[in-house]
């Protein structure tokens, strides 16, 4: 009898497995593929590897701006693909080694909840039950599509396929301008593909601050992306020469369509039917303090959890919360109010806490402060001044949320993570001095302005 059996070896599942070591718990991890999950194998890591290649290409292409003469660069797609894979393999190998070192038993197969534990179905069809006192469901998510756009891996693809394209597509339509759609639009346009980006709602990265969306929209357009917001698409028309994507009275003809309209929880066939686990459209409801489902001893973490962001780092924190409760009976809830979200486009967008709209909807009287990067020395040096900082605070009260769009926003947002998480007053955060010259100074300036004492 194990202490814990975990179904799924992505960030939620493997974090739970690794963390259990702190309490000397005996853990088995069931995985039908390779450990690493969406993040390492088909998400964050390979996507960021491609985005970094695009960034290097863009930097070299614009070297002349900085007085550096470089031959016009070319993309060696095969070499970039190989490098992406070597980064993935290195991290997957490291993770497998760490799990082994922590004495986590990895069982290759498909897991399904049964009384007393989890039944594993192996590749040859045989089954066996792993008995355990506690179960953690961490089965993750899969790309979903829309009617008229069934994935065929060739003309209609998901991000899973796009990360492994063997050659650069000339013309791409991307449906959905969330994190995945915008990241692919940014990297493909930077590397010279023709990109059409379609978003049903009225801005790119819906849900994020409109000021940040405008920065990103402008940057994407400058790269040559045809951004169409507030536009729905008709069913794809596939021919020998490509795909026609109709919208309104118009249409575009492309080589491939990347559908990025969200991810569905992967909870089918894992034995939830007839159990007290509460499931809604495939997502699992949990007690957010413990990650416990409605079934005693059964927890859920990661992309399967209802009502929380589908982010690798949220999964890590949820794995820790679940194991803490299993091992100690006490709670270590995930601080969802201060989980940073980063979109790794060029430029990046980072956000934490509430947007202005969310704060107003929650009933706060808010004070908003914005500061552009046009006068920030380091941004001018980097020739990247289109960014902005936006702070949302309760009137005469603490910071509730923050958004940064611009160079390095994905790193900079973490200082605001602490400020929002610790409910700092703008004046308390403004008392700290930022190094000069840095892009982060834009945050210092915004905090000073939010305290009623702007400097520049
Ligand atoms: P998403 O939910 O972030 O965005 C999907 C977008 O598609 C939305 O803007 C939606 O309005 C739009 N859409 C839906 N149906 C449409 C239609 N028929 N026509 C046009 N637009 C349509 O989902 P996405 O980008 O696929 O990402 C999936 C999950 O993975 C998200 O939770 C996301 O936050 C996460 N993720 C996070 C990343 C990051 O933190 N950097 C990177 C990639 C994914």
**What CATH number should be reported for the domain holding residue 288?**
3.50.50.60
- pLDDT band per the 50, 70, 90 thresholds, residue 112: very high
What is the extent of the structural domain holding 327? 2-142+264-336
291 conformational bin, left if phi > 0, alpha if psi -120 to 50, beta if neither: left
**In the prediction, which pLDDT does 319 show?**
98
Tokens 């046009």, residue located: 374
In a domain, 455, yes or no: no
pLDDT in tens, 58-94: 999 999 999 999 999 999 999 999 999 999 999 999 9
Q: Which residue's structure tokens are 């179904």?
A: 7
Instruction: Specify if 341 maps to a domain.
Output: no
User: In the prediction, which pLDDT does 427 show?
Assistant: 97
Dist. CA 337–CA 87, nearest whole Å: 32
Identify whether residues 136 and 272 lie together within a single domain. Answer: yes
In a domain, 342, yes or no: no
- Shared domain for 292 and 394, answered yes or no, is no
Does residue 157 have its Cβ closer than 6 Å to ligand 1?
no
Q: Tell whether 121 and 43 lie within a shared domain.
A: yes
How deeply is 322 buried, as exposed, middle or buried, from its count of CB atoms within 10 A (0-12, 13-18, 19+)? buried
Same domain, 53 and 136: yes
Q: Is residue 272 part of a domain?
A: yes
Q: Tell me, in angstroms, the distance from the centre of ligand 1 to residue 3's CA.
A: 36
**Average pLDDT score over the chain:** 97
Strand, helix or coil at 161? Answer: helix
Angle among Cα 281, 286, 287 to the nearest 5 degrees reads: 150
Query: Any long-range contacts for 355-358 (C-beta under 8 Å, 24+ apart)?
Result: 355/207, 355/208, 355/209, 355/392, 355/401, 355/403, 356/209, 356/390, 356/392, 356/401, 358/401
User: CB of 343 closer than 6 A to ligand 1?
Assistant: yes
Shared domain for 164 and 95, answered yes or no, is no
Residues 135 and 19 in one domain: yes
User: What are the tens digits of pLDDT across the range 396-408?
Assistant: 999 999 999 999 9
> Which atom of ligand 1 approaches the CA of 181 most closely?
25
Q: Which of 233, 261, 289 is the last residue of a domain?
A: 261
**Considering the chain, what percentage of its residues have pLDDT values greater than 70?**
100
Distance CA 377, CA 434 (A): 13
pLDDT digits (tens, 9 = 90+) for 384-430: 999 999 999 999 999 999 999 999 999 999 999 999 999 999 999 99
Domain CATH number, residue 414: 3.30.390.30
Q: Is 149 near ligand 1, meaning CB less than 6 Å away?
A: no
Question: CA angle, corner 296, sides to 38 and 269, nearest 5?
Answer: 45
Split at pLDDT 50, 70, 90, the class of 441 is very high
Task: Tell me the pLDDT tens digit for each residue of 4-26.
Answer: 999 999 999 999 999 999 999 99
pLDDT-based confidence at 137, cuts 50/70/90?
very high
Q: Is residue 151 part of a domain?
A: no
Asked if residue 434 lies in contact with residue 441, where contact means CB atoms within 8 angstroms, the answer is: yes
Q: Residue 305 in contact with residue 286, Cβ under 8 Å?
A: yes
The per-residue pLDDT for range 245-283, each reduced to its tens digit, is: 999 999 999 999 999 999 999 999 999 999 999 999 999
Last residue of some domain: 261, 279, 307?
261
In this structure, the residue with its CA closest to atom 26 of ligand 1 is 262
Residue 148 belongs to some domain of the structure: no
For the question of residue 436 being annotated catalytic, the response is yes
Percentage of the chain with pLDDT > 90?
100
Number of domains in the chain: 3
**Averaged pLDDT for residues 202-217:** 98
Q: DSSP letters along 284-313, please? A: EP-BTTTTB-SSTTEEE-GGGBTTS---HH
- Decide: 393 in ligand 1 pocket, CB within 6 A: no
**What's residue 325's pLDDT?**
98
Domain shared by 131 and 185, yes or no? no
Question: What's the confidence (pLDDT) of residue 389?
Answer: 98
> How confident is the model at residue 265, as a pLDDT?
98
Is residue 147 situated within a structural domain?
no
3-state helix, strand, coil in the chain (%, to 5): 35, 25, 40
User: Which pLDDT score, from 0 to 100, does residue 298 have?
Assistant: 98
The rounded Å distance from CA 182 to ligand 1 centre is 9
* Reported confidence tier of residue 374, pLDDT bands at 50, 70, 90: very high
Question: In this structure, what are the phi and psi dihedrals at residue 61, rounded to the nearest 5 degrees?
Answer: -60, -30
Question: Residue 393 to residues 339, 358, 388, 400: CA-CA distances in angstroms?
Answer: 17, 12, 17, 5
Residue 212's nearest CA partner among 356, 375, 366, 399 is 356
Structure tokens at 136: 């953690």
Where residue 224 falls among pLDDT bands split at 50, 70, 90? very high
pLDDT score for 208: 98
Co-location of 8 and 128 in the same domain: yes
State how far the Cα of 264 lies from the Cα of 309, in Å rounded to an integer. 12
> Which helix H or strand E contains 174, and what residues bound it?
strand 171-175
Give the separation between CA 305 and CA 432, rounded to whole angstroms.
Answer: 37
Output the pLDDT for position 111. 98
Residues 309 and 399 in one domain: no
Whether the CB of 14 sits within 6 Å of ligand 1: no
Structure tokens at 77: 């797609």
Q: Is residue 381 part of a domain?
A: yes
- Are residues 137 and 180 located together in one domain of the fold? no
SS (H, E, C) 403-447: EEEECCHHHHHHHHHHHHHCCCCHHHHHCCCCCCCCCCHHHHHHH
- The side-by-side arrangement of strands in the sheet containing 366-372 is 341-343, 348-353, 399-406, 388-394, 366-372
Quick one: 289 and 324 in the same domain? yes
* Whether residue 328 sits in one domain with residue 237: no
Which backbone phi and psi does 60 adopt, to 5 degrees? -65, -40
User: What distance in Å separates the CA atoms of residue 315 and residue 264, rounded to the nearest whole number?
Assistant: 15
Question: For 319-325, what is the mean pLDDT?
Answer: 98
CA of 296 to the centre of ligand 1 (A): 33
**Does residue 432 come out as left (phi exceeding 0), alpha (psi in the -120 to 50 range) or beta?**
beta
Of 62, 414, 436, 456, the active-site residue reads 436
Taking the centre of ligand 1 as the mean of its atom positions, its distance from the CA of residue 374, in whole angstroms, is 30
Task: Compute CA distances 15 → 137, 282, 404, whole Å.
Answer: 12, 22, 28
Residue at which a domain ends, from 315, 336, 357: 336
Tell me the whole-structure pTM to 2 decimals: 0.97
Q: How far is the C-alpha of 83 from the C-alpha of 284, rounded, in Å?
A: 36
């Amino acid at each position: 009898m194990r202490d814990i059996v975990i179904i799924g070896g992505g960030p939620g599942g493997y974090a739970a497995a690794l963390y259990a070591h702190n309490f000397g718990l005996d853990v088995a991890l069931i995985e039908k593929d390779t450990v690493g999950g969406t993040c390492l194998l088909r998400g964050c890591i390979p996507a960021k590897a491609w985005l970094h290649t695009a960034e290097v290409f863009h930097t070299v292409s614009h070297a002349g701006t900085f007085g550096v003469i470089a031959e016009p660069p070319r993309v060696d797609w095969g070499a970039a693909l190989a490098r992406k894979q070597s980064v993935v393999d290195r991290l997957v190998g490291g993770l497998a080694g760490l799990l082994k070192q922590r004495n986590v038993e990895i069982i290759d197969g498909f897991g399904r909840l049964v009384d007393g534990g989890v039944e594993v179905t192996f590749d040859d069809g045989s089954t066996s039950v792993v008995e355990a006192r506690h179960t953690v469901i961490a089965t993750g998510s899969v790309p979903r599509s829309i009617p008229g756009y069934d994935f065929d891996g060739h003309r209609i693809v998901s991000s899973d396929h796009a990360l492994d394209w063997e050659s650069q597509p000339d013309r791409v339509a991307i449906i959905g301008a969330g994190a995945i759609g915008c990241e692919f639009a940014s990297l493909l346009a930077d590397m010279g593909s023709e990109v059409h980006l379609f978003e049903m709602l009225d801005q790119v990265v819906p849900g994020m601050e409109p000021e940040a969306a405008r920065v990103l929209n402008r940057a994407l357009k400058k790269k040559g992306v045809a951004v169409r917001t507030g536009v729905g698409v008709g069913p794809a028309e596939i021919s020998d020469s490509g795909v026609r994507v109709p919208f309104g009275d118009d249409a575009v003809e492309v080589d491939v369509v990347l559908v990025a309209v969200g991810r569905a929880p992967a909870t089918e066939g894992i034995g939830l039917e007839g159990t007290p686990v509460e499931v809604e459209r495939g997502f699992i409801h949990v007690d957010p303090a413990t990650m416990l489902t409605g079934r005693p001893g059964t927890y859920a973490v990661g992309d399967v959890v209802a009502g929380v962001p589908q982010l690798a780092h949220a999964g890590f924190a949820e794995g820790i919360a679940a194991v803490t409760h299993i091992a100690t009976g006490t709670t270590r809830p995930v601080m969802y109010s201060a989980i940073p979200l980063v979109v790794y486009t060029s430029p990046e967008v980072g956000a934490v806490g509430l947007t202005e709209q969310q704060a107003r909807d929650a009933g706060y009287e808010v004070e908003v402060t914005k500061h552009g990067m046009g006068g920030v020395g380091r941004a001018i040096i980097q020739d990247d001044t289109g960014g902005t900082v936006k702070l949302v605070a309760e009137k005469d009260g603490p910071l509730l949320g923050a958004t940064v769009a611009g160079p390095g926003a994905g790193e900079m947002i973490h200082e605001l993570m602490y400020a929002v998480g610790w409910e700092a007053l703008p004046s308390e955060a403004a008392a700290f001095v930022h190094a000069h010259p840095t892009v982060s100074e834009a945050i210092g300036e915004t905090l000073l302005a939010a305290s009623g004492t702007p400097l520049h």
